[in-house]
Amino acid sequence: MPEHAISYEELIPGYRFPPATYELSESLVSKYRKAVDCAGDGFVPPLAMTALAIAAMAQSIPLPPGIAAIHASQDVEFLAQVPVGATVECHMVVAQKIARGKMTMMVVELEVLDQGRRRVQAGKATVAMLS
Is residue 4 included in any domain, yes or no?
A: no
Whole domain around residue 95: which residue ranges?
10-130
Is residue 117 included in any domain, yes or no?
A: yes
Is residue 3 included in any domain, yes or no?
A: no
pLDDT in tens, 101-130: 888 899 999 999 999 999 999 999 998 888
> Which residues in 108-127 are b (16+ Cβ under 10 Å) and which e?
bebbbbbeeeeebbbbbbbb
Is residue 31 included in any domain, yes or no?
A: yes
Is residue 52 included in any domain, yes or no?
A: yes
- Looking at residue 3, its pLDDT comes to 52
10 neighbors 64 (Cβ within 8 angstroms): no
Is residue 1 included in any domain, yes or no?
A: no
- Looking at residue 4, its pLDDT comes to 53
pTM score, whole prediction: 0.83
pLDDT in tens, 2-54: 455 677 777 899 999 889 898 999 999 999 999 999 887 899 998 898 888 88
Q: What's the total number of domains in the chain?
A: 1
- Looking at residue 93, its pLDDT comes to 94
In angstroms, what CA-CA distances link 110 with 26, 65, 74, 75? Answer: 23, 27, 10, 10
Is residue 118 included in any domain, yes or no?
A: yes
Is residue 26 included in any domain, yes or no?
A: yes
Q: Where residue 95 sits, what CATH number does that domain have?
A: 3.10.129.10
